[in-house]
Chains A and B, each alone.
Chain A
Amino acid sequence: MKLHIEHDTCYGYEGEVRASIQYLRLTPKNNEQQKILDWHLELPGDANEIDDGYGNRLTVLTLDYPQPEITIRAVGTVDLKGIDICTHDSCVPPQVFLRQTELTEPDNELRRFAEQYPPNYDGLQAMMRDLLSTVRYTPGATTVSHTAAEAFAIGAGVCQDHTHIFVACCRHLGMPARYVSGYIHTQDGDHISSHAWAEVWIDDGWYTFDVANGLLMPDSHLKLAVGLDYLEAAPVRGIRYGGGQESLSASALVSRMANEQ
């Protein structure tokens, strides 16, 4: 399936931003499940690209002159193969993803929830199903700073919370699990196209668990970055000096190429 993506992130400010620096993980890479046909970023200033150690392409955008707003645009075309259920793209040993972070550290409630499931593919599928009914998809119920344990206690959240809770439980069960950020193509338009899901290392590959959509086959998912949690895989993470109040508008448009349908 060929997809076309247009992803705009626009920060508007009350005043002028004197300077800012952003870490962007907005460039997907080829792997067994996805082929990048064309991709580019449109940025308002100087940028450098590095590999962040996890294998993600990290673009560093530095702006050192006053800006009224900052617009970041990623545009590209990719081919999702939809054949392989698991992937092997890994620059660091899988055991790295056994570690909890401040955002994933489970509390007793979450540990008890995880311990109901056997640590294997079937067990995790059951956990994924139950998690979606325990923590209802509710935009606005949480913010980006909510931890897995907090979202679990609230019983509501978005894909980021589902993913944090799921990786927290997997790690607690001794299974390496990583946070994935990217895009999803949905027919119904129920979910926004910027998305997060989990991958779990089982035997010898990374298996997809898209908790929010109850999906195991990543045939509509375009992976941008992986990390221990949202903070490490976030498509945009930045800091700015000056500017006062900030407003953010982000839109990601994922469309299936016409000639493919």
Chain B
Amino acid sequence: MEMHLPPEGGYDELFDADNKIRPHYQVIHDWLTQTDDELIAEKRREADLLFHRVGITFNVYGESQGAERLIPFDMIPRIIPATEWHILQAGLRQRVTALNRFLFDVYHDHDIIKAGLVPAEQVFANPQYQPAMQGLHLPRNLYIHITGIDLVRNNDGDYYVLEDNLRCPSGVSYMLEDRKMMMRLFPELFTRCAVAPVEQYPAMLRETLQASTLKPNPCIVVLTPGRYNSAYFEHAFLARQMGVELVEGADLYVHNNEVYMRTTAGPRRVDVIYRRLDDAFLDPLAFRPDSMLGVPGLFAAYRAGTVVLANALGTGVADDKSIYPYVPDMIRFYLGEEPILKNVPTWQCRKPEELRYVLDNLSDLVVKETQGAGGYGMLIGPRASREEIERFRDAIKARPDNYIAQPTLSLSSCPTLVDEGIAPRHIDLRPFVLTGKRIQMVPGGLTRVALRKHSLVVNSSQGGGTKDTWVLEDSEC
């Protein structure tokens, strides 16, 4: 099958700068070039059919309501050599540890603020800061049980953290389904390459949730906003894989500051809620009064310490884009270590001199809303029309503190099956980090791919696809 070479100047995962094949991609490269087109086309049809049958879909906001779309799956895996993964893993462990320490600190003694490293107003006036968490003691001082850290590789070959997702990171079900699909379609590849397994994730998640409370044999539930949520498939999938109940707000109630689940066998006390529902919707008596998705009384039960929420309330204050620039300092402050993973240089529009730079260089920068997520509310300067740039200029001037800007990173590319054959497309990586008694993660994570040529937006809500992510147990494949 024809394989298009990557353009010069970028970093390609398969080809090096001289268009030689990187050793860890040799087996896949040979397999791709030697397999005939018809077989690949057939496998692709088979994959589509299987995904339809499994029902992996994703509601896309902004399209007709409830529209479900199949997330495109690309059969060419993204491969990470063992040595590289070991560094990433150490970096993720370090970053998540520091972020958790930061959350404990901003809800207790505020040491990092007193030390002058993070401005008080940035933290306390942030809408994601949850006053209700101040002074509350959580089991193991744990706030972020489940995190998804978005990484990209720039053209310098280094990985950068693009953002931390500390609220309800999604996508892990695609990681698991993509692997199952690859093993089913191409079992022979797995006999030739030592690919680190990922299927232990649900068991690891369950272990993490069990460790989130000090109560032995806790009753764990997954709380979903319901089947109209874009990630409902994943909520159901994880509950089933862990062997715990999937519940909606109406299935739970609070009595005597304790949470109960209605079951056919009568009420059952709930100890841990893996909630896939934002803070604002959890309890209509404490937060948004119009929310029908939450559980009245849950907030008081949580404050009383009778139930664990994973993740905790108010974790968004640490993954807010206006706090992101301070993460390297958090690592130095709390751990006394130098950050292993790089941060993308960030201009904060709330600072007048940085705002001026941003407004003067809009066509070269990526501008993000500090509260935005999922690729909505973002300007990619080099790709934007003049009108889009002017629209952002007005928006930034009106509310500078709502925006940050970063240089346009050139995401690395990975060979991807597209209409014109096999061509390079930009990718990112979201590893999922679990924190219970200890920090654990399955090797790799979810690789998202921007299927449109030159596109840098990999979000599934913006038409991105996914790939299986292989971490090799040996250095070559």
Residues of A within 8 A of B (CB): 19, 21-23, 46, 48, 50-54, 58, 60, 62, 64, 91-96, 98-99, 228, 231, 237-239
Separation of A22 and B284 alpha carbons in the complex (Å): 11
B453 at the A/B interface (Cβ < 8 Å)?
A: no
A60 and B297 contact, CB distance less than 8 A = yes
A21-B254, A48-B300, A53-B133 given; A95·B284 CB < 8 A: no
CB-defined contacts of B127 to chain A, threshold 8 Å: 99
Given A60-B254, A60-B257, A237-B289, 6 further pairs, Cβ under 8 A: A21-B254, A53-B135, A62-B256, A96-B131, A99-B127, A239-B284
Q: Smallest CB–CB gap between A104 and chain B, Å?
A: 12
* Chain-A contact segment, one of B77-85, B118-126, B148-156, B371-379: B118-126
CB-defined contacts of B121 to chain A, threshold 8 Å: 95, 98
Interface residues of B in 99-155 (CB under 8 A from A): 110, 120-121, 123-127, 129-136
Q: Smallest CB–CB gap between A210 and chain B, Å?
A: 23
A21-B285, A60-B257 given; A95·B125 CB < 8 A: yes
Q: Smallest CB–CB gap between A20 and chain B, Å?
A: 9
A95 and B303 contact, CB distance less than 8 A = no
B255 at the A/B interface (Cβ < 8 Å)?
A: yes
B286 at the A/B interface (Cβ < 8 Å)?
A: yes
CB-defined contacts of B300 to chain A, threshold 8 Å: 23, 48, 50, 52, 58, 60
A64-B255, A98-B124 given; A53·B303 CB < 8 A: yes
10 contacting pairs across A/B (C-beta < 8 A): A46-B255, A46-B256, A48-B257, A52-B300, A53-B131, A53-B135, A58-B300, A60-B257, A62-B254, A95-B124
B418 at the A/B interface (Cβ < 8 Å)?
A: no
Q: Smallest CB–CB gap between A128 and chain B, Å?
A: 23
- Closest B residue to A46 by CB, please name it: B256
B303 and A50 contact, CB distance less than 8 A = yes
B131 and A50 contact, CB distance less than 8 A = no
Interface residues of B in 288-324 (CB under 8 A from A): 289, 296-297, 300, 303-304
B124 and A93 contact, CB distance less than 8 A = yes
Q: Smallest CB–CB gap between A174 and chain B, Å?
A: 9
CB-defined contacts of B303 to chain A, threshold 8 Å: 50-53, 58
Candidates B124, B256, B286, B296; contact of A92 at CB < 8 Å: B124
A21 and B135 contact, CB distance less than 8 A = no
A62 and B297 contact, CB distance less than 8 A = yes
Interface size class of B (residues with CB under 8 A): 20 to 34
Interface centre among B120, B126, B286, B300 (most CB of A within 10 A): B300
B125 and A96 contact, CB distance less than 8 A = yes
A93 and B285 contact, CB distance less than 8 A = no
CB-defined contacts of A60 to chain B, threshold 8 Å: 254, 257, 297, 300
CB-defined contacts of B131 to chain A, threshold 8 Å: 53-54, 92, 96, 228
A62 and B304 contact, CB distance less than 8 A = no
Q: Smallest CB–CB gap between B102 and chain A, Å?
A: 15
CB-defined contacts of B135 to chain A, threshold 8 Å: 53, 91
- Closest A residue to B304 by CB, please name it: A50
CB-defined contacts of A50 to chain B, threshold 8 Å: 257, 300, 303-304
A62 and B255 contact, CB distance less than 8 A = yes
CB-defined contacts of B297 to chain A, threshold 8 Å: 21, 60, 62
Separation of A167 and B298 alpha carbons in the complex (Å): 28
Q: Smallest CB–CB gap between A231 and chain B, Å?
A: 6
CB-defined contacts of A98 to chain B, threshold 8 Å: 121, 124-125
Separation of A22 and B134 alpha carbons in the complex (Å): 23
Candidates B120, B132, B257, B285; contact of A237 at CB < 8 Å: B285
Separation of A165 and B255 alpha carbons in the complex (Å): 36
Separation of A22 and B132 alpha carbons in the complex (Å): 18
A53 and B136 contact, CB distance less than 8 A = yes
Separation of A114 and B46 alpha carbons in the complex (Å): 64
A96 and B129 contact, CB distance less than 8 A = yes
CB-defined contacts of A94 to chain B, threshold 8 Å: 124
CB-defined contacts of A22 to chain B, threshold 8 Å: 285
B285 and A239 contact, CB distance less than 8 A = yes
Interface centre among A22, A50, A238 (most CB of B within 10 A): A50
CB-defined contacts of B124 to chain A, threshold 8 Å: 92-96, 98
Separation of A125 and B130 alpha carbons in the complex (Å): 30
- Closest A residue to B258 by CB, please name it: A48
B257 and A53 contact, CB distance less than 8 A = no
Interface residues as binary, B360-400 with A (CB distance below 8 Å gives 1, 0 otherwise): 00000000000000000000000000000000000000000
B129 and A23 contact, CB distance less than 8 A = no
Q: Smallest CB–CB gap between B269 and chain A, Å?
A: 15
A50-B257, A53-B133 given; A99·B125 CB < 8 A: yes
- Closest B residue to A23 by CB, please name it: B285
Separation of A53 and B136 alpha carbons in the complex (Å): 8
A238 and B285 contact, CB distance less than 8 A = yes
CB-defined contacts of B133 to chain A, threshold 8 Å: 53
Q: Smallest CB–CB gap between B371 and chain A, Å?
A: 12
Separation of A238 and B297 alpha carbons in the complex (Å): 9
In order of increasing CB-CB distance, the 6 nearest A-B pairs are: A53-B132, A95-B124, A98-B125, A48-B257, A60-B300, A92-B131
Q: Smallest CB–CB gap between A56 and chain B, Å?
A: 11
A52 and B132 contact, CB distance less than 8 A = yes
Q: Smallest CB–CB gap between A122 and chain B, Å?
A: 24
Interface centre among B125, B130, B132 (most CB of A within 10 A): B125
Q: Smallest CB–CB gap between A44 and chain B, Å?
A: 15
CB-defined contacts of A95 to chain B, threshold 8 Å: 120-121, 123-125
Separation of A58 and B302 alpha carbons in the complex (Å): 13
- Closest B residue to A176 by CB, please name it: B125
B132 and A93 contact, CB distance less than 8 A = no
Interface residues of B in 233-272 (CB under 8 A from A): 253-257
Separation of A172 and B379 alpha carbons in the complex (Å): 27
- Closest A residue to B129 by CB, please name it: A96
Q: Smallest CB–CB gap between B166 and chain A, Å?
A: 19
Q: Smallest CB–CB gap between B296 and chain A, Å?
A: 5
CB-defined contacts of B120 to chain A, threshold 8 Å: 93, 95
Separation of A48 and B284 alpha carbons in the complex (Å): 18
Q: Smallest CB–CB gap between A240 and chain B, Å?
A: 9
A48 and B256 contact, CB distance less than 8 A = yes
